[in-house]
A and B are shown apart, each in its own frame.
Chain A
Amino acid sequence: MTLPNDVLLDMYRVMLLARRLDERAWVLHRQGKIAFHISGIGQEAAQVGAAFALRRGHDWVAPYYRDLALMLALGMTPRDFMLSLMGKAGEPTSGARQMPSHWSLRSANVVSHSSPVATQACHASGIGLAIKLSGKDQVVLTTIGEGSTAQGEWYEAVNWAAVHKLPVIFLVENNVYAISVRQDKQMAVASAADKAAGLGLPGASIDGLDPIAMHTAMDQAADRARRGEGPTLLEARVHRLTPHSSDDDDRSYRTREEVEAMKSEDPLRMFHDRLAQRKLLTVAAAEALEAQAKESVENAVQFALEAPYPPAADAAFPVFVEDVRHG
């Protein structure tokens, strides 16, 4: 492990926080306190490994909806997330206009995304083009599910970045399922990274359950981008340990045995054990982090439950920049 111990512990802290927040969201949904949740459970290691390889606040990110852990690593707070889950005033991603998990965080160069999948890939290439034109040393990371790489928008985006040698990292978080449709009905190749060959950029498939492997691969891709050598396509092999969303029942398309087998490879637990084995994480430290995470989640839930809704009249603006009424 070449990463300093405090960085490794911080990675674990963010993964744990994302997990506890995400679990709490499911409970809130069952209690009827929120209308919708889309989960990142099982994908935290890939996201945190990727985020920690960025120069956060300097580089740019065009994420997708499962990236809760990525967003926490980039500076989003549990309160921000809970406010957005409940559609409350002050919710920073969209002023409670978008559904939850449609991220945006201007202070961290995280651009707003929408619901049609794969649109953000083109924006990443455009950001990459702008970075190249302005001669800065930034890179841009864009994430996506493997099913969504079937979209033409995604191919056009990768093609652009490859043709113009843009500093973009295309990260596919491959959890094998697009709602209920398995990878083999989405693509005829074994790995999403195999698509790189036909588009003219390097591709690699990484164990996305291992945050350190992810970090290393991202680090190399970012170096390559900063050297002006162009984009990289990374696939992180991850598990989706939950149904697609709170509206989905995954029992109709996958067995419980299959999900249980995945759970035996829980990236959070595996990272915990690895840090503990290496004596980086003591029992006391792990408990303290656990308590911290729980406390900040509960604080966020209480804060959001008590927070007011935005006034209905706020729905009228801002359609154009002329209508922007803050900042």
Chain B
Amino acid sequence: MAEMTLIEALRQAMDEELARDERVFIVGEDVGARGGVFRATLGLFDKYGPDRVIDSPLAELSIIGVGIGAALYGMRPICEIQFADFIHPAFNQIVSEAARLCYRSNGEWTAPMVIRAPYGGGIGGGLYHSQSIEAFYAHVPGLKVVVPSNPHDAKGLLKSAVRDPNPVLFLEPKKGYRLIKGEVAEGEEILVPIGPARVSRPGRDVSLFAYGMMHYYALQAAAAVAAEGIEVEVVDLRTLAPVDRPAILASVRKTGKALIVHEDNLTGGYGAEIAAILAEEAFTDLDAPVRRLAAPDVPGVPFSHPMQDWFMPDPAKIAAALRELAAY
């Protein structure tokens, strides 16, 4: 076992997949000699050369559109969007093209590709380097949306994403790139399946659903309230689309209470979908109203630290919500 950061695990996953399959290539802005602005692809250009790690023009929709074309031909592109905030010009290519190819061609054509995008706030990035974009895309049938929360999963999920025959949007919690460390097995192939959620901390009082950076905080909050006798079951969703309904329902049937945390805005955020699933399928198992803790409905994460802290959910805010829910 080796301890490594989230971003090191992602880099290892790409390295192994580039070595394993000649069809795999990376394309994005500054991914070459520079190794990506977050250094996720550091060293891969030197190792695999300019045909496998391709610096694209500064044009997001074509990073995805060109990736789709290459995938149609039989390649396995990993398209990097420098910041999730800049994925919006490519919305049309992702939603109208990649996600629909299989359905619209009755399975004749598909776009096996990965779209990697660093997302989320807490890094002083202001409105345009902090966005959470998952709800826009988790809405779209035909697209898988994955968010890892620790190095082991990050490596295993990314490798699975590269091998998945469908388009996968892989959202990387960038605040956690270097902050989140963990053990990753060496010398064996790690493949974490896309789809299943994971109970990362068992408990009987409240179910806490989270993903990405918020999952990291969820574990901290669960540990804090455990000292007060509240046993929280933390569920790391890992895959937002298609979502693991059985895992969500099983946890709530055990605890009777649910808190969903995400750093995207509240209204129409991903938590609304989880809440709806619980309302439709677990109404009689609930002992309290479903609770969402999310960012407020302001247009973005402000730059200045006190305002950013006001915006972001954090372990203290999550712990407070857990206490309220446990006491209901």
Interface residues of A (CB under 8 A from B): 60, 62, 92-95, 97-98, 102, 104, 106, 111-112, 114-116, 119, 121-131, 133-134, 152-153, 156-157, 159-160, 163, 317-327
Decide yes or no: A130 and B61 within 8 Å by CB, A94-B106, A104-B108, A123-B68 being known contacts: no
> Which residue of B is nearest A114, CB measured?
B96
> Complex: how many Å from CA A130 to CA B112?
14
Report chain B residues within 8 Å CB of A156. 57, 59, 61-62, 65
Interface string of B84-114 (1 = CB under 8 A from A): 0000010011001100111111111110100
Do residues A324 and B97 form an inter-chain contact, with CB atoms below 8 A? no
Interface string of B155-188 (1 = CB under 8 A from A): 0000000000110000000000000000000000
Do residues B166 and A320 form an inter-chain contact, with CB atoms below 8 A? yes
Report chain A residues within 8 Å CB of B100. 114
Do residues B68 and A126 form an inter-chain contact, with CB atoms below 8 A? yes
> Complex: how many Å from CA A115 to CA B97?
10
Selected contact of A129 from candidates B66, B103, B109, CB within 8 Å:
B66
Q: Which of B64, B96, B104, B141 counts the most A-chain CB atoms under 10 A from its CB?
A: B104
Do residues A160 and B75 form an inter-chain contact, with CB atoms below 8 A? no
> Complex: how many Å from CA A121 to CA B77?
18
Do residues A130 and B92 form an inter-chain contact, with CB atoms below 8 A? no
Decide yes or no: A319 and B67 within 8 Å by CB, A94-B104, A97-B104, A112-B101 being known contacts: no
Report chain B residues within 8 Å CB of A319. 102-103, 141-142
B119 in the interface (beta carbon within 8 A): no
> Complex: how many Å from CA A102 to CA B100?
13
Do residues B102 and A129 form an inter-chain contact, with CB atoms below 8 A? no
B74 in the interface (beta carbon within 8 A): yes
> Complex: how many Å from CA A163 to CA B56?
9
Report chain A residues within 8 Å CB of B57. 156, 159-160, 163
Do residues B73 and A325 form an inter-chain contact, with CB atoms below 8 A? no
Report chain B residues within 8 Å CB of A324. 102, 107
Report chain B residues within 8 Å CB of A116. 92, 96
Decide yes or no: A119 and B92 within 8 Å by CB, A131-B73, A321-B110 being known contacts: yes
Show 27 A/B contacts (Cβ-Cβ < 8 Å), sorted by A. A93-B105, A95-B107, A97-B104, A102-B104, A104-B108, A112-B101, A112-B104, A112-B105, A112-B109, A114-B97, A114-B100, A116-B96, A119-B97, A121-B65, A122-B64, A124-B69, A126-B67, A126-B70, A134-B75, A153-B62, A159-B59, A160-B62, A318-B102, A318-B106, A320-B166, A321-B107, A325-B107
> Complex: how many Å from CA A321 to CA B111?
9
> Which residue of B is nearest A96, CB measured?
B106
Do residues A97 and B106 form an inter-chain contact, with CB atoms below 8 A? yes
Starting from the known contacts A126-B65, A128-B69, A130-B70, 7 additional A-B residue pairs (CB-CB under 8 Å) come to A104-B109, A112-B104, A121-B65, A126-B73, A129-B70, A130-B69, A133-B70
> Complex: how many Å from CA A320 to CA B166?
6
Q: Which of A102, A121, A160, A327 counts the most B-chain CB atoms under 10 A from its CB?
A: A160
> Which residue of A is nearest B52, CB measured?
A133
Selected contact of B66 from candidates A95, A160, A318, A322, CB within 8 Å:
A160
> Complex: how many Å from CA A319 to CA B25?
25
B72 in the interface (beta carbon within 8 A): yes
Report chain B residues within 8 Å CB of A126. 65-73, 77
> Complex: how many Å from CA A322 to CA B110?
11
Report chain A residues within 8 Å CB of B46. none
Do residues A133 and B75 form an inter-chain contact, with CB atoms below 8 A? yes
Do residues A112 and B96 form an inter-chain contact, with CB atoms below 8 A? no
> Complex: how many Å from CA A283 to CA B67?
51
Report chain A residues within 8 Å CB of B21. none
